[in-house]
């Protein structure tokens, strides 16, 4: 495609697309060939590397991970120590999605009495008029009011602010280690609609603060 040792504007780009390589690779090969021609050598632009060269990737037995205790694989570094490899090597496996990160939360276990109380509560919510059919239904709960309390802290331990350069940093003192709290009692029910879809009852009964 060269004309007197020169290419047109898009020739190298077309060659790169044909060989599925970067344009820089075509430019490097061409520069190497022209340098050999200028010195009178035989043109040879083949790969000069002997056999398979470079650092070989370390083989890690990932099947060993389930046998490692959970408390010894909470971080990449601790898991790499158990597998006998470097954290960087293990992190590459993580990038390849061969291993995954999982956030686990503790769950409260129920005692037998708690399970029985929950089962009794579920059975009490069945509609008695439908208990004789194969698939009984639950109550509509239109006449059930839910009451619960909610705590709000007056401030957070750490808060972020944006200040002007040179502005004095604010101070937020508290007495001891206790942050003030406010408790509210909230009372809600299920909203209700009429036959035309208009809301006849929003379900929001009220919320009351407790101050002492």
* Six token digits for residue 146: 């839910």
> What pLDDT score was predicted for residue 145?
93
User: Exposure pattern of 93-116 as b/e (b: 16+ CB <10 Å)?
Assistant: beeeeebeeeeeeeeeeeeeeeee
Alpha-carbon 187 to chain mean position: 35
Token duo for residue 160: 């972020």
102 in any annotated domain: no
Q: 90 burial class (0-12, 13-18, 19+ CB within 10 angstroms)?
A: buried
Q: What is the pLDDT of residues 103-145, one digit of tens each?
A: 888 888 889 999 999 999 999 999 988 888 889 999 888 888 9
Same domain, 151 and 197: yes
Same domain, 151 and 195: yes
Asked, for residue 105, whether it belongs to a domain, the answer is: no
Domain check: are 150 and 211 in the same one?
A: yes
Q: State both tokens at 25.
A: 């690779």
In a domain, 146, yes or no: yes
pLDDT confidence of 186, banded at 50, 70, 90?
A: very high
Regarding whether 35 and 16 lie in a shared domain, the answer is: yes
Q: Which two tokens stand for residue 131?
A: 């208990």
Q: Write out the DSSP string of 143-188.
A: T-EEEEEEEEESS-SS------TTPPPP----STTPPPEEEEEEEE
The answer to whether residue 164 sits within a structural domain is no
- Split at pLDDT 50, 70, 90, the class of 191 is very high
> Is position 53 within any domain?
no
- Residue 18 inside a domain? The answer is yes
Residue partners of 199: CB distance under 8 A and separation at least 6: 191, 192, 193
pLDDT surpasses 70 at 101: yes
pLDDT for res 123 = 92
Note down the domain range covering 23. 1-46
Same domain (yes/no): 69, 31: no
Q: How far apart are CA 107 and CA 117, in angstroms?
A: 18
Residue 189 in this model has a pLDDT that exceeds 90: yes
pLDDT reading at 51 higher than 80: no
Q: Say whether both 72 and 40 belong to one domain.
A: no
Residue 212: pLDDT band with limits 50, 70, 90: low
Residues 188 and 150 in one domain: yes
Q: Which of 85, 83, 88 is nearest to 73 (CA)?
A: 83
Residue at 120 is within a domain: yes
Q: Which of 6-15, 86-95, 202-211 has the lowest mean pLDDT?
A: 6-15
Q: Is the confidence at residue 67, as pLDDT, over 80?
A: yes
Query: For the residues 21-34, what does the mean pLDDT come to?
Result: 87
Looking at the structure, do residues 124 and 148 belong to the same domain, yes or no? no
The answer on 204 and 148 residing in a single domain is yes
Mean pLDDT (the chain) is: 86
Residues 33 and 85 in one domain: no
Split into its structural domains, the chain has a count of 4
Instruction: Judge whether 191 lies within some domain.
Output: yes
Q: What is the mean pLDDT of residues 26-51?
A: 83
177: confidence class by pLDDT, cuts 50, 70, 90? confident
Say yes or no: 120 and 151 in one domain: no
Domain shared by 79 and 123, yes or no: no
């Amino acid at each position: 495609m060269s004309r007197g040792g020169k290419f047109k504007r898009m020739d190298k780009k077309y060659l790169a697309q044909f060989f599925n390589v970067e344009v820089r690779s075509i430019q490097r090969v061409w520069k190497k060939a022209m340098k050999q021609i200028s010195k009178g050598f035989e043109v040879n632009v083949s790969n000069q590397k002997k056999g398979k060269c470079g650092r070989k990737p370390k083989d890690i037995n990932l099947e060993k991970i389930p046998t490692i205790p959970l408390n010894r694989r909470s971080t990449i570094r601790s898991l790499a120590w158990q597998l006998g490899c470097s954290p960087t090597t293990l992190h590459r496996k993580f990038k390849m999605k061969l291993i995954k990160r999982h956030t686990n939360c503790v769950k409260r276990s129920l005692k037998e009495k708690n399970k029985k109380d929950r089962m009794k509560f579920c059975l009490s919510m069945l509609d008695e008029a439908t208990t004789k059919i194969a698939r009984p239904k639950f109550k509509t709960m239109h006449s059930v009011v839910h009451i619960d309390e909610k705590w709000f802290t007056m401030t957070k331990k750490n808060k972020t602010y944006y200040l002007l350069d040179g502005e004095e940093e604010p101070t937020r003192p508290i007495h001891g280690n206790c942050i003030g709290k406010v408790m509210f009692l909230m009372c809600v029910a299920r909203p209700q609609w009429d036959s035309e879809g208009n809301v006849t009852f929003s379900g929001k009964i009220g919320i009351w603060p407790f101050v002492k």
